[in-house]
Each structure stands twice: as C-alpha cells, then as structure tokens.
Amino acid sequence: MSIQLISPNIIAKYVPSTKDKEDAGLSSLSSLSRFFIIPSMDRFKDFAGGFLESVGRPLMTGVSLKEHSSFRIGGKAEFFFEAVSAEELKAAVARARLESIPFYVIGGGYNILFPDEGYRGLIIQNRAQGISRGPGPDEIEIFSGTPLSMVLQFALDNGLAGLEFLAGIPGTLGGALYSNAGAFGSSIGDIFSVGIFLDSEGKERTAEGCDLAFAYRRSALQQKHSIALSAVLKAFPGDQERIRNGIKENLEKRTRKQPPWGTPCAGSYFKNPVFPDGTKVAAGRLLQEAGARDVRVGDAAVFPGHCNFLINLGRARARDILALAAELKERVRANSGILLEEEVIYLPGSFSMP
C-alpha cells in the first residue's frame, strides 16, 4: 500500500490553541478541525449491524491507527476492518458507500501519516493475500493485499527474475501500484501486465499498463480513485542464485543509508524532483545542501544518514512531522528554488474515498 487519493499538499489550516503552541513550540500548525472519534450509540448500531449483514464479519471501533502505521503516529479510527479477501474488501467498501460513511483503504500502513485527531469513518486494511503462477508461463497473479516481500520470495522460489528491485520496499502490491513504487531505476509499472480494480462506482474494471499511465511515483489510480483487487506481474526465467544475489545486493544498498529496520518512519518523505527534460535530482541531496540534517520539531527529526527520511524519535505527533516537512520544503525552496513534493500521504481525519 500504501494509497494516495489526495494531494498531500492540500492540508486544512487552523489556528492552534495556546496549549498546542506550547506543546509544539510553534506559532502555527497544519491540521484539521477537532472532533470526537467515539461514535454515538445510534451511529454505531446502525452501521455495525448493516456492516455485519453485508460483510459477514463485525467491524472494530476505536482502533489506534498508531498500531497500523510505520510512523507509529495517529489517533483512533472510529471504525476499523481488516479485509482478508477481495470479496470482503468489496463488500466493506460497498457498505460504507451505501451508508455515506467516510472510508479509506490502506495496505501495510507505510507511506502514510495518520492525523493526531484520528479518523472519523471507516479505515479498511486490505489483507487480501494470495500468489500463484500464471496466467502466462512467466507471469505471477497476486491479490492486492499481498506484501511485496512475499511476492519477491515467491519469484525467487520459482526462479522468476525481474522483480529484484522490490527488495526492501515495504507495503503491499496495491499500494505499490497506486504510487508506482520502485527503486534502482525500475518500478512496479515496468512489470505490470493487467489488473482488476474497483472503480469509484463500485464496478470491477480490468486495466492494462497503458490504462494506468504509470510515471515516476504516479499512476492513473490516483486520479480515478480506483482500488486494486489483483494484478498480474511479468517476469522472466532466471537462475535462482543470481536472483538471490541481486536481492541481497539491493538490500545492502538500502541498509547502508536508510534508517535501521523498525525505525518509526514512512520511507522517503519527498519525491525526487523531475525536470521537463527528464532529468531527476535526488531530494536527499537537495535537503542536505539546504542544511536539513539537524532539523527537528519535537520528536520529529531528520535521519542523519539520509535527509529524505523523517523519523519519529518516540513521541512525535502528526503535526510535528507536518511542521518539520514544511520547514524542510521552505529551506530547499530558498536554497535551490525547487519546491519539493511529498511522497508520504497525509490523511485528513474526515477525508473519504469516493
């Protein structure tokens, strides 16, 4: 997953309370208006009853989003459901739409920043997993909630090459398709063959690579608000030892500069800027040149080994991360004239997928 359906640059502004200012040490913050995430009894009974009837399993309430975030940040979700099959995923989305309950689908909880106030609506975690060979001889068919690590292991076990660049990329297939995740000059769009998606009207659609307009960290899914259900990835026969060595090499490259596994962060925070001629410049380099290495807001800090990783030192809040990101963007703009764009999604507490 991780799944970007809104521009992370669009963040509602508010005037923080005196306590907020004292807590954060800031004169202004980016956030949403406050609200309670505890559902009223009538709201709970009405939605929970209909949800159980439609989906077949009960939803949960008051679930801490911090526990479902690689940033270890976030308030509580009013409603929460883990869909373990494509049918459950479709049914959960359909019920939320039927009852006009705001909802958002997440994958592994990477590449996303949940709000401190929580989410007023239904968070659906996509855990629909499964992998098989086919339909072509060198293709892999995968459910969208499958972790990329499982996809890579399956390819290795079956002697299928071409997916080694996925090594070390966290999250699920669905999130990777949504953001066209990649590394080392390759991306998921390069190996995508065909997929089945749930559109904004609740209809299943089949799409090929040309339909999804893959570009650097972008896909048409972000504009169409479509939810991936499954996909077929292309591979080619390879020697298992060479595949294993390729995976090992890529993992070693990542571990040299990136935060240690388990560090609370969401991966690269900003996209690498791409100029009209196709030239790409590393956001980490721009941040380093702008003096970002030692910048910190509360417990939100820049990782010393790579300036494009923002980490939670233990008690960081979403507003700390947002304030830190805003400060870094301004420093880069002032130093190089380049405006960085967030890769990590900030999910406002009342936003809903259509």
Which residues are catalytically annotated?
Answer: 217, 268, 343
Write out the E strands in 151-295.
160-161, 182-183, 186-187, 192-198, 204-208, 227-234, 236-237, 265-268
Q: Which residues on neighbouring strands pair with residue 208, listed in sequence order? A: 194
Tokens read off for 16: 């923080």
What is the CA 4 to chain-centroid distance, rounded? 7
**Residues near 236 by beta carbon (within 8 Å), at least 6 away in sequence:** 138, 160, 161, 162
Tokens read off for 233: 């990835």
